[in-house]
Structure 1
Amino acid sequence: MRRDGRLGVGVVGSGRVGPVVGAALAGAGHALTGRTAGSDEERASAILPEVPVLEAPEVLRRSELVILAVPRADLPGIVRGLADAGHWQMGQLVLHTDAAHGIEVLRPAAEKGAIPLAVHPAMTFTGTSIDLRQLAATYAAVTAPAPVLPIAQALAVELGCEPIVIDEEDRAAYAEAIATASEFSRQIVQQATGILRGIGVENPGGFLSSLVRSTVDHALAEASPAIPDLPPDLD
């Protein structure tokens, strides 16, 4: 780790999440060392226009912090494969962005001396610059070994998020809550817009926009702890 706290950051996984996380950390002053290729190179290049596209082992070789933003089903195999090939480095930070996993999935890297971190921004990514603004209004679930938990929290803050610590054993429940909120919301909106479209309403998404947003905001306000009334000032 550099003395000024700035890190060389590599991104493994150039879907909708990895390039945005990389760009956010670059905005916080870290240096991007490389990224792997993605399925939508035009979108990834728009977010990280001057970052070299490399194979994963070369990304790891160049980086002090490695962001793993890969599909959930692929994460364990990628971590293990890079470990078996000897690519993880002693003292290297490795951070994954999956909701369901804590740091146990990174054990093969940790056994090679890497430092495991799990940081999941609780938002739906589009893979565009819009996400960089959205991060500033987002919480992030953070899981890490106690001695390095402040590092994970600091990285979440540098992304623009407010970190919330989630214990390793609670990651599955956390992921269920995230999936319930996102999938249920999407299904309900699709069902409602389908009904409106069926009766001839043009632009049903726009028609429902204010209603859905205000309803969700109201429900979230009801779910948040009430702020107690402050006592009146005593003169």
Structure 2
Amino acid sequence: MTQHLRVGVVGAGRVGAVLAARLRSAGHEIVAAAGESDASTQRIAALLPGVPTEKPSVVARACDVLLLTVPDDMLANVVHVLSASGALRAGQYVVHTSGRHGLDVLAPAAELGARVVAMHPAMTFTGTEIDLDRLTGCYFGLTAGPAEREFAAGLVADLGGRPLWVPEESRTLYHAALAHGANHLVTLVTEAMEMLTAAGADDPAGTLRPLLGAALDNALAQGDAALTGPIVRGDVNTVAAHLEEIAANAPHTMPSYVALGRATLSRAVTDGRLVPIRALRINQLLEEALAESAVRPVYLRDVRDARDGR
């Protein structure tokens, strides 16, 4: 994109501050940013030195391109308030970074004549300068009208990314895929490290790193063909031993182990690598282990206690 943009950011969280910093490095002007928390203020100071911190309505009025990088559940209200307050105007670009939402959530802005775009980076963010290089080659889930497609693609190019055009009706499924793959991966890896620690590993992260790196590369390249392990091999006794040890030493991981075990079992049967009779026996073991485990009510109680500050 060759034109000089005057960009404002509402929601200087991990995503907003980083995107703004990358656009700044591409030659665009960041006129103002809005962020109420101490963490947001620190990010603005670190990644956007010299950029004033203002109220959202002030930011919106000052820019030609407004980045709305607020949490999904807040987005509709932010758009409504800014539209109702007169902070948005015809011809202004209003771009949100929500994965779940498309253009519908920006309808109040569009009714004012604003040009609306949904632009979600398929990336996890730390909110630090580390993220700036990670944006290179990153896909952005884009949804835009015909008149805004060229602008949206140019904005992604300036961020160092690549466009992935997502239909309005597919935004939630697109986002669910990313959350399932990335967010649940963090949970899975963390539980695996906890189990290794219980088994006496001094460096659980170092133990898992080469294995997980190879597994991820293989899965991305080969899909189901990359599946290995006792379930795919039909090693009933090994699965039974796993379940016994998990129940005794890491019971909080039982629900996820069983859920992922069932999913793996189904895929192994579908592609013909596991005979049904062994699959039935393994599934029975998984069901029995989950039924016998007392972890679910304990886990939910712990969640309630954490919520209530106990």
Give 2:202's aligned residue. Answer: 202
Provide the C-alpha distance between the structure 2 equivalents of 1:53 and 1:181, rounded to a whole number of angstroms: 35
> Residue 110 of structure 1: CA displacement?
0.8
The one-letter code sitting in structure 1 at the alignment partner of 2:97 is T
Other structure's SS at 1:142 match: strand
Q: Partner residue of 1:230?
A: none
TM-score under structure 2 length normalisation: 0.69
1:210, distance to aligned residue in structure 2 (A): 2.0
Shift of 1:147: 1.5
Structure 1, unpaired ranges of 5+: 224-235
159-168 or 201-210, which moves further after superposition?
A: 201-210
| Runs of 5+ consecutive residues of structure 2 not aligned to the other structure | 224-310
- Aligned residue number for residue 13 of structure 2: 15
**Aligned-residue offset at 1:38:** 4.2
**CA RMSD of superposed structures (Å):** 1.4
Amino acid at match of 1:37: G
State how 1:49-198 maps to structure 2 within 5 Å. 49-198=49-198
Query: Partners in 2 of 1:137 and 1:187 — Cα distance?
Result: 26
| Contact kept in structure 2, 1:44 and 1:127, CA below 8 Å | no
* Shift, 1:200, TM fit: 2.1
Instruction: Provide the aligned length of Structure 1 versus Structure 2.
Output: 221
> Whole-Å Cα distance in 1 between the matches of residues 96 and 206 of structure 2?
35
8 Å contact kept, 1:12–1:36: yes
Instruction: Please say which structure displays the higher CA radius of gyration.
Output: 2
The structure that is helix-richer by fraction is 2
- Per-residue displacement from partner, 1:24-66 (whole Å, max 9, x unpaired)? 1111111010001242022332111211100111101110000
Q: Residue 8 of structure 2 contacts residue 60 of structure 2 at CA under 8 Å; is this kept in 1?
A: yes
Contact persistence 1:10–1:59 (CA under 8 A):
yes
Alpha carbons of 1:164 and 1:207: their partners in 2 closer, same or farther (altered >3 Å)?
same
Instruction: Specify which structure has the bigger relative contact order, considering alpha-carbon pairs within 8 angstroms and separated by 6 or more residues.
Output: 1
Identity of aligned residues (%): 40
| Mapped partners of 1:29, 1:117: distance in 2 | 21
Q: Which amino acid aligns with 1:156?
A: V
Q: How many Å separate the matches in 1 of 2:147 and 2:62?
A: 25
Q: TM-score, normalised by structure 1?
A: 0.90
- Rounded to whole Å, the distance in 1 between the matches of 2:137 and 2:147 is 27
- Whichever residue aligns with residue 172 of structure 2, its letter is A
- Counterpart in the other structure of 2:28: 30
Between 204-213 and 114-123, the greater mean CA deviation after superposition: 204-213
